Structure 1
Amino acid sequence: MDHGFAVRKLTDFLALVRGYLDEVELASKDVGVEWPDWPQELVVGEAVVRQIVNAYSPGLGDVVRDETENDFTYWNRVRTAAAQALGMASSAEEIAAFLRPTSPVIAAGSLHPWVWEPAAPLWGAGARQDAVLAGARTLNRRLQQKLDRHDIGETDLCMQAFDLKEAQPGKPRLRFSGDRATATWRAQQEGAKYFGAGAFLAIRNVAAHEEYVDWSQQAALEHLAALSVLARWIEECTKEQA
């Protein structure tokens, strides 16, 4: 809903009603003043405003004139309904934000240090793409150091490191703790394998090979968070050699 549009229409309409009611009040006090007719713009405005008022509170805008009431009483009731809708429209965004469930917040400083420490200086300088790339590169070096492998790229290294096959000479594995006979353990290994490869392909490679990536702050932080997850897995896993 366009709350700004509603505020403008309601404000203009209330000014029209106020002007008309001033004329009516003057006519009621001075017998020499002719009772004013309803201005056309007021009647047209009421038709529009009625829909706006009902959009905020169904039925509120359905003000029906009682044959026993005068113009002053009727338009005062219309004005009251419009004023109530104006209050709703003016505060709609703030109320929606207030009523929205409180969501958790990820603090960048709580990300894994392998990722955040190299990224922090660049992030502070507003270089989000470079910050993500620095975190990914450092994570790759940590992975290489843990496995003592510098002969293949990070994507292949993740695929081999978490692979379910037994370690081979020169090809150590990373293993989560737990019962290796369970489907859960195997799923965790397989998931880490593809997650790690995907993170380096879709995050690190994009940051490295594109001259400029227009990542929002939220998107860049989510990329760092994904790398942080991978970093924690790599750190907690044990190295297993042939």
Structure 2
Amino acid sequence: MDHAYAVETLTDFLGDVKAHLFHLYNPLLGDLAANVTPLQTRERDAPPEGLTLKLMRARQIVSAYLPYALDELSQYDRKMDTYWEIVQRAATEALGLASSAEEIAAFLRPASPSIAAEELHPWVWEPAAPLWAAEAHQDAVLTAARTVNRRLQQKLGRHDVGEMDLCMQSFDPKPPTEGKPRLRFDGDRTTPTWKARQDGAKYLAAGAFLGIRNLAAHEEKVTWTQQEALEYLATFSVVARWIEECDVEAAP
């Protein structure tokens, strides 16, 4: 439901209703001066055509928030004061619901965890933080990716291949060769789980550089939202933790 549209429409409508009711009640001033007690449902002039058209739209919105609020309108004519008082009351209540709908929905929504940026791996958040504070989210992700790559190069002592190739070679379960050491998780290397973990780290790390770092580096401006950029930082945080966790295994 478009609550913003409902708020705008009902606010405009209620302004016209207030003006119409003021017009309806003004004749009562003469009655009061003559000590005549008017009936609440006294018949007045027909409502303006513009107000009648707005009423059709407003009734649908009111019914969406308060399905039965306008049921009693069928008892009254549109020329009667009571008709418009009922409409005003119902529209005001619906406006209140529309105005607070998103806030109430957020309150009733189940609590969900959130990513604390400052708790990301320091290789990621420390270089990214100043750029993030400047709302340069693309540059923040790129800087974090470059930092993770430099840390990987330093740990393995390799500067001869690009990020993607280095990740594919580093986590590969195959034995290391001369000049190509590997990163190894702890655990029993004879189990399928250990091998799956190595392969998973290999492809995730390589994919992060291919799908995130390269886009940030080669596109002049990406269309990432702040949430998307934070998720990309979290991806590199995972890669960084794996790199730091693993031992280096070199060829004999």
Normalising by the residue count of structure 2, what TM-score does the alignment of the two structures yield?
A: 0.81
Residue identity (%): 57
Does 113-122 or 186-195 show the bigger shift? 113-122
In structure 1, the residue corresponding to 2:183 is in which secondary structure?
Answer: strand
Query: Judging changes above 3 Å, is the alpha-carbon distance between structure 1 residues 112 and 214 closer, same or farther for their aligned structure 2 residues?
Result: same
CA contact under 8 A between 1:25 and 1:72: conserved in structure 2? no
Question: 1:195 and 2:198 equivalent?
Answer: no
Deviation at 1:90, TM superposition (A): 2.3
Query: Judging changes above 3 Å, is the alpha-carbon distance between structure 1 residues 238 and 204 closer, same or farther for their aligned structure 2 residues?
Result: same
Query: Judging changes above 3 Å, is the alpha-carbon distance between structure 1 residues 8 and 198 closer, same or farther for their aligned structure 2 residues?
Result: same
User: What is the correspondence of 1:142-161 to structure 2 with a 5 Å cutoff?
Assistant: 142-161=151-170
- Aligned match of 1:39: 47
Among 183, 191, 194, the alignment partner of 1:174 is 183
Q: Distance in 2 between matches of 1:230 and 1:89?
A: 44
Deviation at 1:126, TM superposition (A): 3.8
Name the aligned partner's letter for residue 180 of structure 2.
K
Residue deviations 1:80-115 (CA, integer Å, cap 9, x gap): 222211211222233233333333232222111112
Query: Judging changes above 3 Å, is the alpha-carbon distance between structure 1 residues 4 and 171 closer, same or farther for their aligned structure 2 residues?
Result: same
Q: Distance in 2 between matches of 1:132 and 1:86?
A: 42
Q: Distance in 1 between matches of 2:233 and 2:242?
A: 14
- Aligned match of 2:136: 127
Deviation at 1:235, TM superposition (A): 0.7
Q: Distance in 2 between matches of 1:74 and 1:186?
A: 75
User: What is the correspondence of 1:67-216 to structure 2 with a 5 Å cutoff?
Assistant: 71-216=80-225
- 4+ residue runs over 4 A deviation: 23-35
CA contact under 8 A between 1:203 and 1:223: conserved in structure 2? yes
CA contact under 8 A between 2:145 and 2:213: conserved in structure 1? yes
- Aligned match of 1:11: 14
Q: Distance in 1 between matches of 2:220 and 2:80?
A: 69
Name the aligned partner's letter for residue 7 of structure 1.
L
Deviation at 1:155, TM superposition (A): 0.4
Q: Distance in 2 between matches of 1:180 and 1:98?
A: 48
In structure 2, the residue corresponding to 1:196 is in which secondary structure?
Answer: helix
Residue deviations 1:173-192 (CA, integer Å, cap 9, x gap): 21222333433322222111
Root mean square deviation, CA, Å: 3.0
Structure 1: where are the runs of 5+ without partners? Answer: none
Query: Judging changes above 3 Å, is the alpha-carbon distance between structure 1 residues 84 and 28 closer, same or farther for their aligned structure 2 residues?
Result: farther
Normalising by the residue count of structure 1, what TM-score does the alignment of the two structures yield?
A: 0.84
CA contact under 8 A between 2:31 and 2:37: conserved in structure 1? no
Structure 2: where are the runs of 5+ without partners? Answer: none
- Aligned match of 1:221: 230
